[in-house]
Amino acid sequence: MHTHPTRRTLLLGAVAATALGACATSGADDDSEAAKGETTADNPFGAPADAPLEVVVFKGGYGDQYAVEAGTLYKPRFPKADVDHKGIQRVGEVLQPRFISDDPPDVVDNSGAGRLDLVTLVSSGKLTDLTELLDAPSLDDPSKKVRDTLMPGVVEDGTFDGKVFVLNYSSVLWGIWYSRSLFARNGWTYPTTWAEMLTLGDEIKKTGVAPWTWQGKFPEYMNDPLVSLAAKAGGHELVRSVDNLEPGVWRSPSMLAAAGAIHQLAVRGHIMPGSEALSHTEAQNAWSKGQAAFIPCGSWLEGEQQQVTPAGFDMVLGTVPALTGADKLPAGAVMAASSESFLVPAKAGNARGGLEYLRILFSRKVARGFAQNSRALPVVTGATDGLTLTSGLASTAQTAEAAGASMFGYRFRTWYPPLAKALDDATGELLTKRTTPEKWAERVQKAADAVAADSSVTKQKR
Amino acid sequence: MRHGRYRFLAGAMLPPLLLYAVFVVSPYAQAFYLAFTDFNGVSSDVRLVGLDNFTRLWSDPLFLAALRHNGLMLVVVPLVTIALALFFAASTRGSRLLRAYRVLYFFPQLLSVAIIAVLWQFVYTPNSGLLNGLLDAIGLSTLERSWLAEPRLALWCVMAALIWSAVGFYVVLFAAAIESIPADITEAALIDGAGPVTLFRRITLPLVWDSVQVAFVYLGIVALDGFALVQIMTVGPGGPDNSTEVMGLSLYRNAFTYGRYGYASAMGVALFFLTLTLVLLMLRVTRRERVEMA
């Protein structure tokens, strides 16, 4: 036998293989226009009557019943069109090759773990501009544009470089959760300022209950109250400067004060020991068992804790208290964002139909079904009116209404994931007292500056 | 007839080779190509960027941290695993009861990495974890801590889990090698007055050195990875404060979170050459004269 590969044959193989290399990135190049039908008042986008519609939806915590319903409402309007609905997980892995080869479905809910990076999709020109949809008459009230039926912030959440490419379906609010019954039993009232929060914490600690726990394994959970405090003190202006990577914003007085406020929880021993190593499940279950009074989380908490919440626990979402007496945003201001990102790929075969499908999806009827089945707040305003809601969802809906236009949301987590990671790392250190608010600000600012200086990162502006 | 046989052999060999080329060789080759591009994972519009991705590697603090951590694992994991495995293999010779232990050692091998990581997370979890509970029970409660949340301990905790999961396989491997040592050699040594330590050093170890060498190579590759355990077990993951960052995790994050497939491919290529170098080095360093047994 003399057929052992020699170094030379290996090298030759490598050369041949590099020629093969173009496979992952070579794509189809047919630029055929998407099919179009006649435009009428009832069919504002001119969706073709007989073109099939393929909808791929992330089937996660919220299920996909609402998307199925929208599909069944599409059918009677276009009886000759087949609606192909797919509820899947790992949306990114399934659709990545189809985006590369420009053979995507007509509607995608790009959500859940393993979703595709939105900024990448936008910068590669893979998505349809949804402005047309926003300016179309809404299904429920033709005198109202779709744009005007959505909660504040939803359109902005889907805006990249001045154009709207994504519409999110579920509204998520971030706050601090507590059990109404536990508070009533102990005569505690939810604080309105951070100073009161610290005083209440001292009081709670005396009863043997830990005032706080948090999902330390994933430090971003505590970043939400931190940046909320900063936004309340510094106003929308601060939020914009953070997202625009303006120099020194992480060292600004509001941001430093917010970091100091969160740091105080650790300094005063208000945090349940060991929280820094708990996963979200462990920390949330400890909180549901009444081992801690407060936990930071988004409005999905109630659904997530369904199986382990004791009867009569009555969890409610509290607005993050005011940081100072002179906050720029009103007391009810709350951090909000939307999730379940619906989009229409640019190269969709039936893009017109995709837009029409979204118009149906964002109607009040489908949204009500979503609130009832998925126990989450849809972004369609007034969709939950008159429904009997669970305590958590009801408090979420109230908080959203109370906040009104003072809702705020940061975009840097989606725009600049490396900055989000640096912030998470720093906050983890802050809450274990291994770093100080000043050093925290230094290192986050350094990370923000690094992203700003990195020419390979596409910059966004708001 | 000979001709027909070759045709038959070729027919049997070609399909697997083809599959191997399509599913193993070609992705590798593509990774090499992508490492020189700015591929973002979805766009087919790919630019060649030369060596940019590679120069970037050496100024990426996270990747350098990962390199250091993998380096430490490379020193610790193979040595400790092989030492433990040799000890267990040598000390479970003899009675049936002792041999039954080998089955126990092998159990972790039957579990998937994900399950091992979740199990060890329960061991280390601070308030209801096995480790803190044990320390409490034996009166050492001052030693209790949030194991995976302390930067100085987290990587060692991960390595302990890694070693635990690997050691059983090498016990079985070494035990088989030890069994194959002819009894007369051992007996002769014993008659000459060799104690258990001398027997191990002078007889057993040299005669199973081939297996040890293989173990070093395998474990070196394991130590350069560690991705699954770190991803599932650690704070962050990769934390606290990047104290458990490994190259696999950096690669994964850059590809799937940051959408930098080109850069991630460059990491993959670097890892490929590191592993290759390591294997060659390990084979050379551990090379000894072979003992021929009749």
Does the pLDDT of residue A366 top 60, yes or no? yes
| Residue A196 shares a structural domain with residue A308 | yes
* Residues in chain A within 8 Å Cβ distance of B126: 273-274, 277-278
pLDDT number for residue A388: 85
Among all residues of chain B, which has the CA nearest to that of A426?
Answer: B241
Q: Cβ contact (<8 Å) for A424 and B151?
A: no
pLDDT number for residue A33: 53
Q: Cβ contact (<8 Å) for A120 and B41?
A: yes
pLDDT number for residue B268: 94
- 10-residue block means of pLDDT along chain B (294 residues)? 78 92 92 91 84 91 94 95 92 79 86 93 91 91 90 95 94 90 88 87 89 91 93 91 94 90 94 91 76 56
- Is A217 a member of any domain? yes
Q: Which of B34, B126, B258 sits opposite A417 (nearest CB)?
A: B258
Q: Cβ contact (<8 Å) for A21 and B41?
A: no
Q: Which ipTM did the prediction report?
A: 0.86
pLDDT number for residue B291: 60
| Residue A359 shares a structural domain with residue A429 | no
Does the pLDDT of residue A182 top 60, yes or no? yes
User: A363: domain CATH number?
Assistant: 3.40.190.10
- Is A18 a member of any domain? no
Among all residues of chain A, which has the CA nearest to that of B238?
Answer: A425
Q: Cβ contact (<8 Å) for B34 and A25?
A: yes
Among all residues of chain B, which has the CA nearest to that of A99?
Answer: B42
Q: Cβ contact (<8 Å) for A121 and B42?
A: yes
| Residue A223 shares a structural domain with residue A349 | no
- Is A25 a member of any domain? no
Does the pLDDT of residue A24 top 80, yes or no? no
| Residue A47 shares a structural domain with residue A147 | yes
pLDDT number for residue B290: 62
pLDDT number for residue B69: 96
Quickly count: other Cβ atoms within 10 Å of residue A15's Cβ: 9
Q: Which of A26, A99, A279 sits opposite B42 (nearest CB)?
A: A99
3-class SS letters over chain A: CCCCCCHHHHHHHHHHHHHHHHHHHCCCCCCCCCCCCCCECCECCCCCCCCCEEEEEECECCECHHHHHHHHHHHHHCCCCCEEEEEECCHHHHHHHHHHCCCCCCEEECCCCCCCCHHHHHHCCCECCCHHHHCCECCCCCCCEHHHHECCCHHHHCEECCEECCEEEEEEEEEEEEEHHHHHHHCCCCCCEHHHHHHHHHHHHHCCCEEECCCCCCCHHHHHHHHHHHHHHHHHHHHHHHHCCCCCHHHCHHHHHHHHHHHHHHHCCCECCCHHHCCHHHHHHHHHCCCEEEEEEECCHHHHHCCCCCCCCCEEEECCCECCCCCCCCCCCCEEEEEEEEECECCCCCHHHHHHHHHHHCCHHHHHHHHHHHCCEECECCCCCCCCCCHHHHHHHHHHHHHHHHCECCCHHHHCHHHHHHHHHHHHHHHCCCCCHHHHHHHHHHHHHHHHHCCCCCCCCC
Q: Cβ contact (<8 Å) for A432 and B126?
A: no
Does the pLDDT of residue A38 top 90, yes or no? no
Does the pLDDT of residue A214 top 60, yes or no? yes
- Is A2 a member of any domain? no
- Residue A388 Cα to chain centre, angstroms: 25
Q: Which of A20, A96, A217 sits opposite B235 (nearest CB)?
A: A217
Quickly count: other Cβ atoms within 10 Å of residue A101's Cβ: 14
Does the pLDDT of residue A461 top 80, yes or no? yes
Q: Which of B26, B146, B151 sits opposite A274 (nearest CB)?
A: B146
| Residue A266 shares a structural domain with residue A380 | no
pLDDT number for residue B244: 95
CA distance B124 to B258: 30
| Residue A242 shares a structural domain with residue A99 | no
Q: Cβ contact (<8 Å) for A99 and B124?
A: no
**Which range is least confidently modeled, A270-284, A389-403, B279-293?**
B279-293
| Residue A299 shares a structural domain with residue A368 | no
Does the pLDDT of residue A1 top 50, yes or no? no
- Is A88 a member of any domain? yes
- Is A92 a member of any domain? yes
Q: What SS3 state is found at B48?
A: strand
| Residue A180 shares a structural domain with residue A151 | no
| Residue A73 shares a structural domain with residue A38 | yes
| Chain B interface disruption, residue of A1, A7, A23, A25, most B CBs within 10 A | A25
Name the residue among B220, B217, B205, B213 with its Cα closest to residue B287. B213
Q: How far B178 CA lies from chain A's nearest CA (Å)?
A: 31
pLDDT number for residue A4: 42
| Residue A62 shares a structural domain with residue A194 | no
Quickly count: other Cβ atoms within 10 Å of residue B114's Cβ: 12
| B189-229 tens-digit pLDDT | 889 888 888 888 888 888 998 899 889 999 999 999 999 99
Quickly count: other Cβ atoms within 10 Å of residue A82's Cβ: 11
Among all residues of chain B, which has the CA nearest to that of A447?
Answer: B61
Does the pLDDT of residue A242 top 50, yes or no? yes
pLDDT number for residue A348: 93
Q: Cβ contact (<8 Å) for B42 and A428?
A: no
* Residues in chain B within 8 Å Cβ distance of A100: 42-44
Q: Cβ contact (<8 Å) for A124 and B43?
A: yes
Domains of chain B, earliest start first: 29-110+157-285 (1.10.3720.10)
- Is A150 a member of any domain? yes
| Residue A304 shares a structural domain with residue A427 | yes
pLDDT number for residue A8: 38
pLDDT number for residue B288: 67
- Is A4 a member of any domain? no
* Residues in chain B within 8 Å Cβ distance of A165: none
Q: Look at chain A and report how many structural domains it folds into.
A: 2
Q: How far B121 CA lies from chain A's nearest CA (Å)?
A: 10
Express as a percent the part of chain A with pLDDT over 70: 92
Encoding tokens for residue A461? 């502006």
Does the pLDDT of residue A287 top 50, yes or no? yes
* Residues in chain A within 8 Å Cβ distance of B29: 14, 17-18, 20-21
Among all residues of chain B, which has the CA nearest to that of A215?
Answer: B235
Q: What are phi and psi of A164, to 5 degrees?
A: -95, 120
Does the pLDDT of residue A19 top 80, yes or no? no
| Chain A interface disruption, residue of B20, B22, B40, B42, most A CBs within 10 A | B42
pLDDT number for residue B62: 93
Does the pLDDT of residue A28 top 60, yes or no? no
| Residue A209 shares a structural domain with residue A96 | no
* Residues in chain B within 8 Å Cβ distance of A27: 44
Q: Cβ contact (<8 Å) for B44 and A27?
A: yes
Q: How far A145 CA lies from chain B's nearest CA (Å)?
A: 33
Q: Which of A21, A279, A428 sits opposite B29 (nearest CB)?
A: A21
Q: Cβ contact (<8 Å) for B42 and A96?
A: yes
For range A67-88, the mean pLDDT = 92
| A2-12 tens-digit pLDDT | 434 333 333 33
pLDDT band at A17 (very low <50, low <70, confident <90, very high): very low
Q: Note down the domain range covering A367.
A: 30-164+344-384
pLDDT number for residue A3: 37
Q: Which of B26, B40, B126 sits opposite A23 (nearest CB)?
A: B26
Quickly count: other Cβ atoms within 10 Å of residue B103's Cβ: 11
Q: Cβ contact (<8 Å) for A429 and B240?
A: yes
Interface of B with A (CB under 8 A): 25-26, 28-30, 32-34, 37-46, 121, 124-127, 146-149, 151, 235-236, 239-242, 253, 256-260
